């Protein structure tokens, strides 16, 4: 009996050692997918550290010591750019996930992991931005207990928290696959469809509700940029810019890490952008004439110029780029189209929520800029770490890998 027990214990020990050995080998394989760390990434690390240092300084000494915000201008760069634009650009995560898993277009599966990662990073940065912008971030938990169901911010806060959780679960198979954790991987794969449906629902709710926040400010936003249709506009532009962000991320991965740029697949993915932006353009143009706001265009000035730049550069140019098969199937053509589409979303948010909002004069302080740049660099670091240590893409072409 003793001998049998000893043999059983030895077998169990060897099995565990074997599992640990396999895990070590697995992790060793992951670590081998590193890339040379060049001056570019070193600069990114420095800027991220500077931004985080300024954020800590802001938490210690308050908003008044670090920002140019005031009672007359409570929303600044962090809300209009980091929050509204960042969340809008992250819409590719729910769009591509819905295309692949709900509409069953499996040909787009190779870009799902990177797209969900981009969305997860963007929402993480948005949450960090909110923690920096809140006057008392230590009370963020009040949102969970004290419900103000009539506030758009309440709905946005809950949706962002829940969707960030959904994105973490959607991305977890990449980590489980890398660590060879079969049981958690099996569980997540079993609930993939419910997760995707939940993600699409939550994204639809808070992408549009970000626009709802601005509908309550009709007397503060310039008439050219104010609309009761903000929820619809925010949702449509987020879908278009989210798909464009997928192209931009793929181009970045191709140029930086040597992974193949799936031009044929991406050219099919962006076919929907002209339709989405076309609907947006027609509705907004109709509103312009129905409400008489076109008269503000005839007056000229900075509002008219910025409106034209937004609509031409951020809407019409992408429609032309992505409607042309030759441009759509060209690496530089599709990338420039994505760039203009993302720029259009950013202008849409910044024009309404920052530049042409009445109130005290506002120019972001260097600390606000440092935090924005630092958080952006932190996002690049997170993406770089995932590419280095997780199976995000097929193996790159060795000669294409360069110093980062």
Per-residue pLDDT reduced to its tens digit, 302-322: 999 999 999 999 999 999 999
Q: Is the per-residue pLDDT at 323 higher than 50? A: yes
CATH of the domain at 306: 1.20.1630.10
The answer as to whether 24 is a domain residue is: no
The answer as to whether 1 is a domain residue is: no
Q: What is the 3-state secondary structure (H, E, C) of the chain?
A: CHHHHHHHHHHHHHHHHHHHHHHHHHHHHHHCCCCCCCHHHHHHHHHHHHHHHHHHHHHHHCCCCCCCCCCCCCCCHHHHHHHHHHHHHCCHHHHHHHHHHHCCCHHHHHHHHHHHHHHHHHHHHHHHHHHHHCCCHHHCCHHHHCCCCCCHHHHHHHHHHHHHHHHHHHHHHHHHHHHCCHHHHHHHHHCHHHHHHHHHHHHHHHHHHHHHHHHCCCCCECCCCCCCCHHHHHHHHHHHHHHHHHHHHHHHHHHHHCCCCCHHHHHHHCCHHHHHHHHHHHHHHHHHHHCCCHHHHHHCHHHHHHHHHHHHHHHHHHHHHHHCHHHHCCHHHHHHHHHHHHHHHHHHHHHHHHHCECCCCCCCCHHHHHHHHHHHHHHHHHHHHHHHHCCCCCCCCHHHCCCC
The domain containing residue 286 runs over which residues?
39-400
The answer as to whether 32 is a domain residue is: no
pLDDT of 27 reads: 42
Exposure string over 338-361, b if 16+ CB within 10 A, otherwise e: bbbbbbbbbbbbbbbbbebbeeee
pLDDT of 35 reads: 59
Q: State the pLDDT confidence band at 36, using cuts at 50, 70 and 90.
A: low
The answer as to whether 67 is a domain residue is: yes
The answer as to whether 348 is a domain residue is: yes
pLDDT of 390 reads: 83
Give me the mean pLDDT over the 227-234 stretch.
95
CB atoms within 10 A of CB 402: 13
Whether residue 84 contacts residue 210, with contact meaning beta carbons closer than 8 Å, is answered with yes
Provide, rounded to the nearest whole percent, the portion of the chain with pLDDT above 70: 88
pLDDT of 39 reads: 83
Per-residue pLDDT reduced to its tens digit, 75-112: 899 999 999 999 999 999 999 999 999 888 888 888 88
pLDDT of 394 reads: 57
Residues 106 and 112: their CA atoms lie apart, in Å, by 10
The answer as to whether 9 is a domain residue is: no
Q: State the pLDDT confidence band at 21, using cuts at 50, 70 and 90.
A: very low
Residues 398 and 259: their CA atoms lie apart, in Å, by 9
Q: Is the per-residue pLDDT at 395 higher than 90? A: no
Q: Is the per-residue pLDDT at 151 higher than 90? A: no
Average pLDDT, the chain: 86
Per the structure, how many domains does the chain have? Answer: 1
């Amino acid at each position: 009996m003793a001998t049998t027990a000893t043999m059983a214990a030895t077998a169990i020990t060897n099995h565990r050692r074997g599992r640990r050995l396999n895990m070590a080998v697995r992790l060793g394989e992951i670590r081998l997918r590193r890339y040379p760390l060049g001056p570019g990434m070193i600069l990114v690390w420095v800027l991220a550290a500077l931004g985080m240092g300024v954020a800590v300084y802001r938490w210690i000494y308050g908003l008044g010591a670090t920002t140019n915000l005031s009672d007359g201008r409570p929303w600044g760069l962090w809300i209009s750019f980091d929050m509204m634009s960042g969340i809008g650009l992250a819409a590719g995560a729910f769009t591509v996930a819905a295309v692949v898993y709900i509409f069953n277009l499996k040909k787009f599966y190779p870009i799902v992991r990177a797209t969900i990662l981009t969305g997860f990073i963007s929402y993480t940065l948005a949450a960090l931005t909110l923690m920096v912008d809140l006057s008392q971030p230590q009370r963020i938990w009040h949102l969970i207990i004290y419900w103000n169901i009539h506030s758009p911010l309440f709905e946005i806060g809950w949706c962002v928290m829940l969707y960030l959780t959904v994105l973490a679960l959607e991305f977890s198979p990449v980590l489980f696959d890398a660590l060879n954790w079969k049981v958690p991987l099996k569980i997540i794969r079993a609930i993939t469809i419910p997760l995707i449906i939940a993600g699409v629902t939550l994204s639809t709710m808070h992408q549009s509700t970000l626009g709802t926040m601005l509908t309550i400010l009709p007397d503060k936003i310039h008439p050219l940029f104010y609309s009761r249709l903000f929820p619809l506009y925010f949702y449509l532009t987020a879908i278009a810019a989210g798909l464009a962000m997928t192209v931009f991320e793929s181009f970045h991965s191709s140029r930086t890490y040597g992974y193949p740029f799936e031009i044929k697949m991406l050219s099919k993915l962006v076919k929907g952008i002209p339709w989405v932006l076309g609907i947006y353009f027609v509705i907004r143009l109709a509103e312009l004439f129905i409400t008489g706001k076109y008269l503000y265009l005839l007056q000229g000035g900075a509002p008219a110029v910025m409106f034209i730049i937004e609509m031409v550069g951020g809407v019409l140019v992408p429609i032309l780029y992505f409607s042309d098969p030759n441009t759509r199937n060209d690496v530089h053509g599709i990338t420039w189209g994505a760039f203009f589409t993302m720029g259009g979303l950013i202008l849409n948010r910044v024009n309404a929520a920052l530049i042409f909002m009445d109130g005290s004069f506002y120019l972001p302080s260097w600390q606000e800029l440092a935090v924005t740049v630092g958080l952006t660099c932190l996002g690049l670091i997170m993406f770089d770490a995932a590419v280095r240590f997780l199976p995000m893409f097929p193996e790159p072409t060795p000669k294409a890998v360069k110093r980062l």
